[in-house]
Amino acid sequence: MYDRIKGFRDFYPGEMAARRATIDTLEDTARGYGFREIGTPALERAEMWTDKSGDDIVDELYAFEDQGGRHVTLTPELTPTVARMVVAKQQELSKPIKWFSTRPFWRYEQVQQGRQREFYQTNVDIFGSSEPEADAEILAWAADAMTNLGLTGEHFEFRISHRDILGGVLESYDADVDTEDAIRAVDKSDKLSTVEYHDLLIGAGLTADQAVEFDDLIAGGDLEEVREFANTERVDAAVDNLQNVLAAAEDFGAREFCTISLETARGLDYYTGVVFECFDSAGEVSRSIFGGGRYDDLIESFGGQPTPAVGVAPGHATLPLLLQRAGVWPAEEVTTDYYVLQIGDTRTEAARIARDLRERGHVVETDVAGRSFGSQLNYADSINAETVVIAGEQDLANDEVTIKDMASGDQLQVPVESFPGEHERPTLGDFE
């Protein structure tokens, strides 16, 4: 026996059916907004990460040297890959570029609830628009995807902020503040004690009094108070932009799910504007469900023309936790429309019935293991077959088949030439 590798998961048919239903909902919602699906490679050059984050990041990657001597890694996230793709065909692509994909990623990190070493995300991005409507459309897609999954505003909220508000307030202090370190401290604040949080702010360059003042100001979430406190063009522009995004989100139907939360920072350095995270409203899922935001400088940093961008990436490890808590996780079971049961030498007719039903778009199974009548019926029950069509030698000798409704146990003999006949989804009731 071989053990499964830690941090990697198996998905048996029942759980995979629930996952597939969830993914289909997210992707169908994206298609409704005009996002186009892309496919991306599992392997990229490791320099796409080490050039920007330093060689130490290799410890967090599944990186190795391939047989051609290239330093490569299994991709830990999608954003650098799509940036590379945009740069490669930037002049050919119609703007705005609206892409989505669902795929696995790999990071070597501590395994915990909602975090695996192989994980799946649905990424949804818009490239080529700096307008507030682009940010609002990402929020609207996320809100529609969540409600299409069966959630309501009682189950989730989007905590929304703006990186330039945080950065501008920090710069307004008469101190040598490492802004990125301070923003990372804000991003961690909900996991730290007040003392630990303030110590990180002090380590980033604020005085003890300034750390307290900054904490109180940001926690208050009053945009006009923040504007007045900082009194800088950067903060003015950021507050205006955030308010404009929220106004557009109102028109797009997503504002009711948005809460201003200036403590939402998103720790990644490439975020440049509006950022947001989705949380369980009841607080039972201990970490954010997913997050997103604006990253206007990334395409240029990969050698492309300046291209604004905004996106979001729901993860398929944390999202099920919320759906399960809310009681809307799809049923973990396989379903089958028809099972065509064979008794004796009836394969030809049974196969014809199965083909006819499949041509109508139904899920159909039939015997491929030479089993007895009882074994086939038990199998049909195990795969949740709705209807069993019994093609027995005696039935066919009388030009009939037997239809059995598995829920009620009722059954009826019908002319074989009438099944499925003109019926799109024939059931016992059609022949009674």
Q: Residues 195-218: what's their mean pLDDT? A: 90
Residue 336 assigned to a binding site = no
Distance CA 48, CA 73 (A): 9
Residue 77 assigned to a binding site = yes
Residue 324 assigned to a binding site = no
156, β-bridge pairs? 280
Residue 266 assigned to a binding site = yes
Helix intervals (H) in 172-232 = 179-188, 194-203, 208-220, 223-230
pTM of the predicted structure, to 2 decimals: 0.91
According to DSSP, the β-strands at 36-37 and 97-106 are parallel
3-state secondary structure 358-381: HHCCCCEEECCCCCCHHHHHHHHH
- Residue 282 confidence (pLDDT): 82
Answer whether residue 27 shows pLDDT above 80.
yes
| Domains by residue range for the chain, with CATH | 13-326 (3.30.930.10), 336-430 (3.40.50.800)
Distance CA 400, CA 350 (A): 12
Map residue 171 onto helix, strand or coil. Answer: helix
Burial call 104-127: b when 16+ CB within 10 Å, e when fewer: ebbbeeeeeebebbebbbbbbbbb
Distance CA 115, CA 410 (A): 47
Nearest C-alpha neighbor of 324 from the set 139, 120, 113: 113
- Residue 267 confidence (pLDDT): 61
- At residue 408 the predicted structure's pLDDT band, cuts being 50, 70 and 90, is very high
Residue 298 assigned to a binding site = no
- At residue 268 the predicted structure's pLDDT band, cuts being 50, 70 and 90, is low
- Residue 265 confidence (pLDDT): 82
User: Can you list the positions of beta strands (E) in 295-363?
Assistant: 309-312, 336-343
Residue 325 assigned to a binding site = no
Distance CA 283, CA 287 (A): 8
Q: What percent of the chain has pLDDT over 90?
A: 76
276 DSSP 8-state letter:
E
Q: What percent of the chain has pLDDT over 70?
A: 99
Q: Residues 157-176: what's their mean pLDDT? A: 89
- At residue 191 the predicted structure's pLDDT band, cuts being 50, 70 and 90, is confident
Residue 79 assigned to a binding site = yes
- Residue 18 confidence (pLDDT): 97
Distance CA 273, CA 182 (A): 16
